[in-house]
Structure 1
Amino acid sequence: MATILVIEDNQAIRENIVEILEMADYHVLEAADGKQGLLLAESQHPDLIVCDLSLPILDGFVVLQMLNRDDKPCKVPFILLTARAERAEIRKGMDMGADDYITKPFNPSELLSSIECQLRKSSHAKISSVKVQPPGPIQDPAQEAEPFKNLIKDRNIKTIKSKQIIYQEGNHPSYLYFILKGMVKTYKIDEDGKEFISGLFNEGDFLGYIPVLEKTRYSDTAEAIGQVVLAIIPIEDFEELTVANKHAREQIIRMLTHSIEEKEVQLLRVAYDSLRKRAADTLLTVFNKYNIGGDSNVGIKFSRGNLAALAGVAKESFARTLADFRDEHLIDIRNGVIYLLDIGKLNQLSN
């Protein structure tokens, strides 16, 4: 029995497809967004994927691109499901490696015919690709555990001064960056000129990998907070590693998932949380970024403007909340550095 993964955000359409496939005696996995679908594809290894093009979090193009970063001789058949009739969108999907496309609304027989055809092709390809392989070298377990170690090694090193721009929103990426020392913020400027910090990155983090994966322009700007030391990695080397190394692909998916989850939580808090809750959460977030060694006495050397931008509030409002926290002995401020005095109560406020 073949296993089919259906990735579709519209519940009614997804349930309809699942019912059709189960009646045709297929084992069906289902996902409501691109992230969930990608994780299921990597863990469950379906025989074929039916994927909507317009998905939340990761769209069908990104899912297809990530799955094609594989060293297997036979790819998993991929059928695009789309309501878009534009030839350019369909052509883009086919050029990226999709095997077929079906335009919504579709006829059940059309869907089943496409699936049966692609499964037959896949079966023939697997048979013809079977070869007796000579014994190869045993892969170093340490290399499997640290797939990016050699990628970072012996790279050009660049020291960035405080407030210096690393990359600019709207530009195309030329390099991937790895932070050897320091902290970096990414931010966007809205129509009113207000800054919103979209991410914080510190030692051991890769920077700017999402537009590299998606082959798009930068969606925000990266700026050094204090002095930063970066390893500069050419995109071609990064892409070569992700194609050749399964463990690197798995780690990229984990990085991507974590980044998406962080942004989801941040946007929800900006939309629904009170000012005090946002302020407490922002202080704890920055503290955890600084506190790499587990020292509870580490101070937050972060400007009030950056803290307010991360919380998504006006600088004056954030400053008043900090003053309240100081009066309540939750924090102390010495020489412009913020120290957390009662992490437990701040966690209670944050939650």
Structure 2
Amino acid sequence: MTKIVLIEDNHEMRENIEEMLELADYQVLSAENGKIGLDLVKRELPDLIICDIMMPELDGYGVLYYLSKMPETRAIPFIFLSAKTERTDLRKGMNLGADDYITKPFEEMELLEAIESRLKKRQRFEAIMDSDDKWKGFQDAVCDLTGLDDLKDNGQIKSFGKREEIYFEGDTPKWLYYVKEGHVRSYKVTRDDKELVTGLYGAGEFFGYIDLLSQGAYNEFSVAIEGAKLALIAKDDFEKLILSNKDVSINFIKLLAGDIVEKENELVSLAYNTVRKRVANALSKLYLKYKEGLAERVEVTVTRDELASMVGTATESVIRILSEFKKDEYIKTKGSLITILDYPSLRDYRF
């Protein structure tokens, strides 16, 4: 049975929530103030914590602060309950590492849905950690398990048109970007004015964090491919969360490590693979970025010049190889639209 610790100083409120949770088949352990609640959590190690903010002895912020310092408790999902509705109060809780923030009064289903959502996200994270490929899904895990979930939802939303630049090389980083819709590519420009793609990002992915964390200027360009809707998270908010929440820091370190591994693989591919193999790899990567659900055929919008910049070759070579892949029925083309028909063959292409 799922174990929940409830920390609430109001006796009537505490009893009502206990009854509600027990009827939903949760085991509930309760405490009337933050100090008792802190000891209870350390002793019982529950699956989830629900905590009021304004309490005697030790307030909710203090409870979360101390729990975040202990390895055995800092990853337990934490939901704040409070009558405080100011945005600064919400931000303070999220910066400390809370997973959710529910204002009083609230509907029964609002709390139950929040609990179910946080437990499912924790289970998904644990499944990722138990899998052979721990990099897969970390973008969602980072977002779901920390205050980034709320930062991206409350961030400034901005839409970019087709081929519209998002930032330029040399610009000062001000935002962490989160893709809500569409696709984005980052690229470098060589001395002879040729583009080389350095990254592709789809819905649910962060980008721009490497230069943001390095405190330097952007060392690449970024552009919306067919158009994109982005959430812009302010640099100060992101840095506060990184510094105050170890889970966020650890997961972004893992994302950075994953980026390094991917870049190393791309360098090996450029050095040793044939142009045909590199085109096949690029199309496979686009397939995974654009794939939705169980669809076997995937349409991607990419110009021949953009594909050449991904592969690191001349546009003429890409046009010739696409023609060959079309004859082999791996793809079909119509203008800049490429429909990938046979992903396994492209993925496993050898020469």
- Aligned position for 2:9: none
1:324 equivalenced with 2:251 (yes/no): no
Q: Which runs of 5+ in 1 are unaligned?
A: 1-132
Residue 243 of structure 1: aligned partner: 243
SS state at 2:170 partner = coil
Conserved? CA contact 2:287–2:343, under 8 Å: no
Contact 1:278 1:350 in 2 (8 A): no
| Paired residues of 1:173 and 1:212 also in contact (CA < 8 A) | yes
Give the Cα separation in 1 of the matches to 2:342 and 2:227.
29
- Which letter does structure 2 place at the counterpart of 1:300? V
Q: Distance in 2 between matches of 1:228 and 1:206?
A: 13
Given that residues 301 and 336 in structure 2 are in contact (C-alpha distance below 8 angstroms), is that contact kept between their aligned partners in structure 1?
yes
Does structure 1 conserve the Cα–Cα contact (< 8 Å) formed by 2:304 and 2:336?
no
- Unaligned ranges ≥5, structure 2: 1-57, 68-75, 80-98, 100-121, 123-143
Shift of 1:350: 5.1
Q: Would you say the 8 A contact 2:297–2:342 is kept in 1?
A: no
Residues 1:200 and 2:200 aligned together: yes
Q: Cα offset for 1:330?
A: 1.8
Distance 1:223 1:350 in 2: 31
Q: State the Cα deviation string for residues 39-67 of structure 1 (Å, max 9, x = none).
A: xxxxxxxxxxxxxxxxxxxxxxxxxxxxx
Distance in structure 1 (CA, Å) of the matches to 2:215 and 2:244: 19
User: 2:152 is matched with which residue?
Assistant: 152
In the TM superposition, what whole-angstrom CA distance separates every residue of 1:237-265 from its partner, at most 9, and x where no partner exists? 00000111111112101211111111111
Query: Any idea what the Cα deviations from partners look like across 1:260-292, whole Å, max 9, x if unmatched?
Result: 111111121112110110111010001110014
- How far the C-alpha of 1:198 sits from its partner, in A, is 0.7
Letter in 2 for 1:146: L
Aligned to 2:63: 136
- Cα RMSD over matched residues? 2.2
Does the CA-based 8 Å contact 2:186-2:221 persist in structure 1? yes
The answer to whether the Cα contact below 8 Å between 1:183 and 1:202 also exists between their aligned partners in 2 is: yes
Which residue is equivalent to 1:305? 305
Letter in structure 1 aligned against 2:339: Y
**TM-score for the superposition, normalised by structure 1:** 0.59
Cα deviation for residue 334 of structure 1 reads 3.6
- Which position in structure 2 is the counterpart of 1:345? 345
Report the 3-state secondary structure (helix = DSSP H, G, I; strand = E; otherwise coil) of the residue aligned with 2:313.
coil
C-alpha distance in 2, partners of 1:136/1:176?
29
Whether the aligned pair in 2 keeps the contact of 1:187 and 1:196 (CA below 8 Å) is yes
User: Where in structure 2 are the equivalents of 1:50-61 lying within 5 Å?
Assistant: none
Q: Which residue of 2 aligns with 1:161?
A: 161
**Secondary structure of the residue that 2:232 maps to in structure 1?**
strand
Question: For residues 9-28 of structure 1, what are the structure 2 equivalents within 5 Å?
Answer: none
- Once the two structures are aligned, what percentage of the paired residues are identical? 32
Taking structure 1 as reference, are residues 176 and 336 closer, same or farther at Cα in structure 2, changes over 3 Å only? closer
1:60-75 alignment, distance < 5 Å = none
Distance 1:294 1:217, change over 3 A: farther
Whichever residue aligns with residue 284 of structure 2, its letter is: L
Q: 1:161 Cα shift?
A: 0.9
> Structure 1, residues 168-211: CA drift from partner, whole Å, max 9, x if none?
11121112111111111111111111111111111111121001
Contact 1:158 1:232 in 2 (8 A): yes
* TM-score scaled by length of structure 2: 0.59
- 1:206-285 correspondence to structure 2 within 5 Å: 206-285=206-285
Instruction: Output the amino acid matched with 2:145.
Output: E
Q: Which amino acid is 1:210 matched to?
A: I
Q: Deviations over 1:135-174 (max 9, x none)?
A: 8257635827521102212221111111111111112111
- Which letter does structure 2 place at the counterpart of 1:323? S
**Alpha-carbon distance, 1:336 to partner:** 3.9
Paired position in structure 1 for 2:109: none
> Which SS does the other structure have where 1:153 is aligned?
helix
Query: Could you say which residue in structure 2 is the equivalent of 1:176?
Result: 176
- Could you say what secondary structure the match of 1:192 adopts? coil
Matches within 5 A, 1:77-88: none
How many positions carry a matched residue from both structures?
220
